[in-house]
């Protein structure tokens, strides 16, 4: 107020601001854009403040160059289970190509495959967000639930199934580690089940075993057992959970039926399956 009073005393008659040149036009020159591009190529985790300070431009100018001139967006890294090497990626391509060719050459290929996998079964598992969702009106309060954890009671179940259903299943005894020696014993019981329930595949010896690349599945003792008993194994690409069908429909449904079972009941089921 005092400044405007002094200006009017000196003869000023307008209350509008004086014309000014504005921000220098040199801030978004091609040289500035190229300099920002070089800094981004060197380190893509640089912040706008760091880049603006090094290039000596304003924060808004630097942000405009990144988004409008360069068309870039600041995003977080995508989570993946495993970052594959070049050799592992090539192995995935080779295995998938081989499986596709086998399925094309033999119409009965899938009917001869027996897939095996193991998973933890808990006495109780908390509901997922999808399972606990329900409809509400605009005036009803939002539902609440306390944070829950999985049950301490748990056991490992091993299942083998083919195109017709489950061929063999068993629970791992409490305290037992699924190592190569134990897995070979499981495969002995699987062979007996194939002999009794799939006699044609057993006589022709045309059934194929499919499992993942767990340490117990790739140990030397396991390979010796497979060679001794002339068991054919389908190759599995490294770190490829999308090719383990039991994780998508079989094991989740089995876990729903097994929730709440006591370990004495599990041991009875194990004795019956053996």
- Average pLDDT for 200-217: 89
> Which of 76-90, 141-155, 168-182 holds the top average pLDDT?
168-182
Residue 259 pLDDT more than 70? Answer: no
Residue 178 pLDDT more than 80? Answer: yes
- Give strand ranges (E) for the chain: 113-122, 154-161, 166-171, 208-210, 232-233
**Cβ contact 69:34 at 8 Å:** no
Tally of CB atoms within 10 A around 270:
16
∠ CA(152), CA(156), CA(161), 5° rounding? 145
pLDDT at 186: 93
pLDDT at 192: 92
CATH architecture of 102-126+148-273: 2-Layer Sandwich (3.30)
| One-character DSSP codes across 136-184 | --TTSPPP--------S-EEEEEEEE-SSSEEEEEEPPTT----HHHHH
Q: Maximum Cα–Cα distance for the chain, whole Å?
A: 113
pLDDT digits (tens, 9 = 90+) for 188-204: 999 999 998 888 888 88
- Dig out the tokens for 12 from the structure: 């000023």
pLDDT digits (tens, 9 = 90+) for 104-115: 998 889 889 999
Q: Which residues contact 222 (CB under 8 A, 6 or more apart)?
A: 180, 183, 184, 216
Q: How far apart are CA 167 and CA 173, in angstroms?
A: 20
Closest CA to 219 of 179, 256, 166: 179
CA atoms within 13 A on the CB side of 79: 0
pLDDT at 239: 81
- Domain ranges, ordered by start, for the chain: 26-79, 102-126+148-273
CA atoms within 13 A on the CB side of 178: 19
pLDDT digits (tens, 9 = 90+) for 80-104: 778 888 998 999 899 989 989 988 9
CA atoms within 13 A on the CB side of 199: 1
- Average pLDDT for 127-148: 76
């Amino acid at each position: 107020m005092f400044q405007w009073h002094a200006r009017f005393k000196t003869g000023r008659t307008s209350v509008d601001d004086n014309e000014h040149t504005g921000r220098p036009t040199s801030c978004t020159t091609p040289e500035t854009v190229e300099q920002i591009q070089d800094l981004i190529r060197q380190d893509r985790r640089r912040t706008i403040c760091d880049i603006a300070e090094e290039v000596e431009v304003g924060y808004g100018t630097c942000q405009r160059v990144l988004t409008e001139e360069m068309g870039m967006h600041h995003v977080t890294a995508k989570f993946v289970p495993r970052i594959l090497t070049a050799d592992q990626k090539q192995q995935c391509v080779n295995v998938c190509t081989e499986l596709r060719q086998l399925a094309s050459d033999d119409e009965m290929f899938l009917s001869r495959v027996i897939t095996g996998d193991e998973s933890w079964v808990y006495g109780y598992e908390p509901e997922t967000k999808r399972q606990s969702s329900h409809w509400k009106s605009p005036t009803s309060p939002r539902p609440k639930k306390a944070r829950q954890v999985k049950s301490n009671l748990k056991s490992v179940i091993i299942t083998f199934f083919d195109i017709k259903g489950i061929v063999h299943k068993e629970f791992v005894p409490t305290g037992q580690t699924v190592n190569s020696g134990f897995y070979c014993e499981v495969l002995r019981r699987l062979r007996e089940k194939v002999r009794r329930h799939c006699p044609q595949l057993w006589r022709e010896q045309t059934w194929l075993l499919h499992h993942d690349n767990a340490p117990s599945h790739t140990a030397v003792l396991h390979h010796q057992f497979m060679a001794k008993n002339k068991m054919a194994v389908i190759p599995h690409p490294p770190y490829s959970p999308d090719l383990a069908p039991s994780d998508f429909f079989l094991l989740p449904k089995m876990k729903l039926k097994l929730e709440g079972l006591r370990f004495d009941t599990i041991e009875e089921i194990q004795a019956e399956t053996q």
